[in-house]
Chains A and B, each alone.
Chain A
Amino acid sequence: MALVDEIREIGRKYPDRRGALLPSLYLAQKEYGWLSQEAYETVSEALNLPPATVKGVATFYAMYRKKPMGRHLIQLCTNVACMVMGAERLVDLLKERYGLEPGGTTEDGRFSLVIMECIGACDRAPAMLVDTDFHSDLNETNIFEILEKYK
């Protein structure tokens, strides 16, 4: 199904099709890799909303990608429980090993890193998402064993 049709289909789940805006932004992000101008315009057309409205909503939410990202997105939590369990050291190590900084992308375009605000896995801290895969109980060794599987 074309993206526009897919979005209109989701709109049927809501009494007012603007309700479909958040799910549509996810779909557009998947299709285009990030929320480019083209992505905004497609959503805007499908939902009959001004592009400025679409962009205005998207920029409020942390999980929409407002710039191009690497092939794999690492979302690492450093909130209090993860911090107490050593997440800050992992941030340093990602920088040492891959030259990867929070909010940045590796030169080879392999990884992007975003710091996440509480991933809801405080009992298995530190934890992260790589794309949509969840990984927990991270330490200085296993984080790299995990990341090496993402090429």
Chain B
Amino acid sequence: MEKVLLKNIDNPDSATIKAYEAAGGYQSLKKALDLEPKKIIEEVKSSGLRGRGGAGFPTGMKWDFASRDPKFPKYLLCNADEGEPGTFKDRPILEKNPHLLIEGMIISAYALQAERGYIYLRGEYPHARDVLEKAIAEAYERGYLGENILGKGFRFDLSVHQGAGAYICGEETALIESIEGRRGQPRIKPPFPVNVGAWGMPTVVNNVETLANIPYIVEIGGEAYAKIGSSDCPGPKLYSISCCVEKPGVYELPMGTSLREIIYEHAGGIKGGRELKAVIPGGISTPVLTPDKIDTPMDFVSLPKIGSMLGSGAIMVFDDTVCLVRVCWRAMRFFEHESCGKCTPCREGTGWMRNILERIENGFGREGDIELLQDVALSISGKTFCPLGDGAANVVLSFIRNFPDEFEYHIKNKKCSAGEE
């Protein structure tokens, strides 16, 4: 497959506007500004593009909702918070192909008739901030941003808003609170941001990778785009793969490529030729899978059928030396730290789950701890404003469901079985 999202990133100058334009960049913007905004929304609808931030919501439909709302001004927010552990797929776009994102945002803003955009960038990516700010300045200089873009009478202003180390701000309503200068605590939905978002106005929040697909959709048309990859959720997809593989990294492949192909063909197989024990397909919040499931296509439709989710497409591979109780405990320490504290089940439950996992891992597990963990997890699932708590519960429930022996062994023998030959 020809690369769309990571095109040219091997060129050392790929982040400059010169290199981007030389490779055909900003041609889609020129084409888009000659189209009716509605026509672009139609193309995105027919492309079948689904949001790459985790939830997989149809992008064209989201835009349509915002576009139909009569209130102005409208806002376009790019979600570059990339906080889901295991995820590093937006990073190459932000650091090496920033103009693709910027072009995607200008076209999207035109389609939505939004005059103001922000890129909500996680604080942990200081290099990306420098790259983006330089790229935005270049785009202003060229007349792609600001007043009267390319003489077509459309105005769009864009800037970077830097986060400050809060995973929850990746959740779209918390992100909006954070841009408004508040603590990043999610809002209850409805109303949805497409109607009542930033500063109470219609707001579209899209992930970096989602927006980076837009120039290509405008270039080849929605129908042609819909033929790439899985038919229910087409397009190119960035998969980030890490932990126990020979060649961890970000791979751009057609949506729906199987886990087996990604692990063994692209990422070079399990490190040191060891045995595969477990794999998390879509970032730490998505349920873990056993090795017999790796022929599943990595997409929004196939993974739910086997009890997991595509999430951010962040694959974490664990071999037989890794202690899964420890992985579970570390994940829970993360959720406890990142719970925003608004909803009691999540705030209290993540701490208790971390506590119980810690004693199991440290050899102080008690009989009944597994049931207790499940009970706490089920008291969080579905009982919170936002899905952070569900993610935490998923980890515990799926690890126990798929690897019960490992938990039982820890409790009974007060030690770990991983790595024992």
Q: A residues near B, CB below 8 A?
A: 13-16, 18-23, 25-26, 56-57, 60-64, 75, 78-81, 83-85, 116-125, 129, 132, 134
Contact = CB atoms under 8 A, between A and B. Distances in A.
Given A21-B181, A22-B163, A81 B242 contact: yes
B87 A120 contact: yes
B126 A132 contact: yes
B243 A22 contact: no
Interface stretch (B324-332, B349-357, B369-377): B324-332
Interface string B173-189: 00000111111100000
B334 A19 contact: no
B91 interface: yes
Nearest to B322: A84
Contact of A83 (B122, B178, B326): B326
Nearest to B85: A118
Contact of B183 (A18, A57, A81, A122): A57
Contacts of A15: 73, 116, 199
A97 to B, nearest CB: 23
B127 A57 contact: no
B166 A134 contact: no
Interface of B: 73, 82-88, 91, 116, 122-127, 157, 159, 161-167, 178-184, 199, 240-244, 248-250, 284, 314, 316, 318, 322, 326-327, 330-331, 334, 337-338, 340
A22 B164 contact: yes
Contacts of B314: 122
Contact of B181 (A19, A83, A118): A19
Contacts of A120: 82-83, 87-88, 91, 122, 124-125
A91 to B, nearest CB: 12
A14 B340 CA distance: 25
B157 to A, nearest CB: 8
Nearest to B338: A117
A116 B164 CA distance: 12
B106 to A, nearest CB: 17
Nearest to A26: B162
